[in-house]
Structure formats: structure tokens, C-alpha cells
Structure 1
Amino acid sequence: MDKIIEIKVLPKSSKNSVVFDAEKNIYNIKITEVPEKGKANKKVIELLSKYLHTPKTSITIIRGKTSKNKVVKITSFT
């Protein structure tokens, strides 16, 4: 079953972290990477993969590739 989630990315943070805000139903992801040449998106996928215990290949950014607010599709989410 696929799952669609919303995330908000905070680049150039002091540390990497993923926190789910249940009230807003959004994942807040802090990353140390700068948002250039896809580095930030790559780090977002890496962190989500670890946080959700799913392969990186199952995670796709479907909206907001150049924005802090993104929509992500997770394939075969259980």
C-alpha cells in the first residue's frame, strides 16, 4: 500500500532530525545540507528512509522538489 505524506524541510540546521507533528499531520525534517544541486532532497530521502524503516528506493518526492514544503510518496508502506 502506498502512502502520501507532507514534510517541511529546514535546511542548514545544526543537526539532522525527523519529528512528526501529529497536530498538523506533517513531518518536520531538519538537515545540515544546503539546498543546492539536490543535496537537500537526497538527505531528506535518506533520513525518511531511516526514520520509517523503508528502503530509499521506495521514497519519491512528488511535489515541492525546490521548496521547503514537499509531498512524498512512499511505495509499499506497511
Structure 2
Amino acid sequence: MEVRGKMIIKVRVIPTAGENEVVSRIGSVLRVKVKTKSIEDEANNIIQYFLAEFFGVENNYINIVKGAKGKEKTVEIRGKSEEHLKKVMDAIP
């Protein structure tokens, strides 16, 4: 049985015409390019699905807890062990 943990991260949204991607990480802050013009509802949905795929968790395990209407968002990630989530974060340049 896998132990489920959680991680709180900050996400800095960069609207772009390109693809969705994690650009860089500074501590627990991810800079994420999102293919959208809006930083609100559409971007929030894209971020939720993108981060779920990126961290290997179900969509409902990604929760934007703060900053839903801004470029700076606080995101809670659950569904995997804390060790797994830290490994994914540590692999980001």
C-alpha cells in the first residue's frame, strides 16, 4: 500500500501561444507556461490537468488553494507519496 502525502507549491503562470511546460523552479515555485490568453478559469483548468499529468496523479488531486484569479497560485498536490512528489520537483532544473 502506497502512503499518500501532499505538497504545497507556488505556481507562476506565464500565458503563452506555445505549449504547456514547466520552465524552471526556484525553491518551491514553479514557473509554468500555459497555452492560454486568460490567467483565470481557462488557465486554472489547464494548470490542473497539466500538473496532474506532470506529477502522475489524478486531476482531482490538484487543488488551487489560493490565487485562482492571479498569475501567482498556491497549489496543493496529493495522491502520491511525499517522497515521489519531492523527486519530481527535484528533477526540475
Structure 2: gaps spanning 5 or more residues: 82-93
RMSD: 1.7
Kept after mapping to 2: 8 A contact 1:3/1:77: no
> Which structure shows the higher helix fraction?
2
Q: CA deviation at 1:36?
A: 6.0
Kept after mapping to 2: 8 A contact 1:17/1:31: yes
Q: Which runs of 4+ in 1 moved over 6 A?
A: none
Larger Rg: 2
Alignment coverage as a number of residue pairs: 77
Structure 1: gaps spanning 5 or more residues: none
TM-score (structure 2 length as normaliser): 0.72
Partners of 2:27 and 2:6 lie apart in 1 by 20
Percent identity, aligned pairs only, is 23
Structure 1 residue 74 and structure 2 residue 74: aligned?
no
